[in-house]
Amino acid sequence: MRSDMMLKQVSAGRMAVTKSVHVASYTSRRLSTKVASSSSSSMGCSGSHLRSPQTQSGRSLQQKFYENRILDRYTSQEPKKVTLRQLVLFGRQLTEDKLIASANYVRSELPVRLAHRISDFQYLPYIAGTNPHLKMVYDLYWRAFDEFRKFPPVKTLDDNRRFCDNVKKNLLEHSQVIPQLGMGVSECADLVSPDEIDRFMNQMLISRISRRTLGEQHLVLSEQFDDDLRAHLGLRPSESFAQLGAAPRGFATQRIGIVRADCSVAQIVHECAHRAAGVYEDAYHLPPGSAPQVLVEGHTDATFMCIPAHFSYIVHELLRNSMSHVISRFAGRLEDAGPDGAPAFPPIRVTICSSHNDIVVRVSDESGGISADVLPYIWSFTHPLKAKRLHNFHAIHRMEARIDEVDSVSPLVSFGFGLPMSRVYAKYWGGDVTVHSLPGYGVDAYVQLPRLGNVVENISARRPPQQTVV
Ligand X SMILES: Nc1ncnc2c1ncn2[C@@H]1O[C@H](COP(=O)(O)OP(=O)(O)OP(=O)(O)O)[C@@H](O)[C@H]1O
User: Pattern 397-416, binding to Mg ion, x per CB under 5 A?
Assistant: --------------------
Question: Which of ligand X, Mg ion, none sits in contact with 450, Cβ below 5 to 8 A by type?
Answer: none
Cβ 252 vs Cβ 93: under 8 Å = yes
Angle, helices 418-428/308-330, rounded to nearest 10 degrees: 150
We find the least distance from the C-beta atom of residue 365 to ligand X, in angstroms, to be 5
- Is residue 160 a contact residue for ligand X (CB under 6 A)? no
- Is residue 145 a contact residue for ligand X (CB under 6 A)? no
* H/E segment holding residue 271: helix 265-283
Nearer to ligand X, 139 or 365 (CB): 365
Provide the pairing of β-strand 294-298 with 303-306. Answer: unpaired
57 three-state secondary structure: coil
Q: Which of 141, 415, 429, 446 binds ligand X (CB under 6 A)?
A: 415
- Is residue 321 a contact residue for ligand X (CB under 6 A)? yes
Tell me the number of residues near ligand X by CB under 6 A.
Answer: 17
The DSSP call for residue 395 is G
Residue 32 main-chain phi, psi, to 5 deg: -80, 70
We find the least distance from the C-beta atom of residue 418 to ligand X, in angstroms, to be 2
- CA torsion sign for 408, 411, 415, 421 is positive
Provide the pairing of β-strand 260-264 with 252-254. Answer: unpaired
d(CA 105, CA 100): 9
Nearer to ligand X, 64 or 320 (CB): 320
- Is residue 321 a contact residue for Mg ion (CB under 5 A)? yes
The β-bridge partners of 399 are none
Nearer to ligand X, 145 or 280 (CB): 280
Identify the CA nearest to 397 among candidates 157, 156, 91, 183: 183
- Is residue 94 a contact residue for ligand X (CB under 6 A)? no
- Is residue 125 a contact residue for ligand X (CB under 6 A)? no
User: Pattern 422-461, binding to ligand X, x per CB under 6 A?
Assistant: ---------------------x------------------
Cβ 107 vs Cβ 154: under 8 Å = yes
| Number of C-beta neighbours around residue 201 at 10 A | 23
Within 418-457, which residues bind Mg ion (CB under 5 A)? 418
User: Pattern 163-202, binding to ligand X, x per CB under 6 A?
Assistant: ----------------------------------------
Interface residues with ligand X (CB under 6 A) are 317, 321-322, 325, 365, 367, 370, 374, 378, 414-420, 443
Chain contacts with Mg ion (rule: CB under 5 A): 321, 418
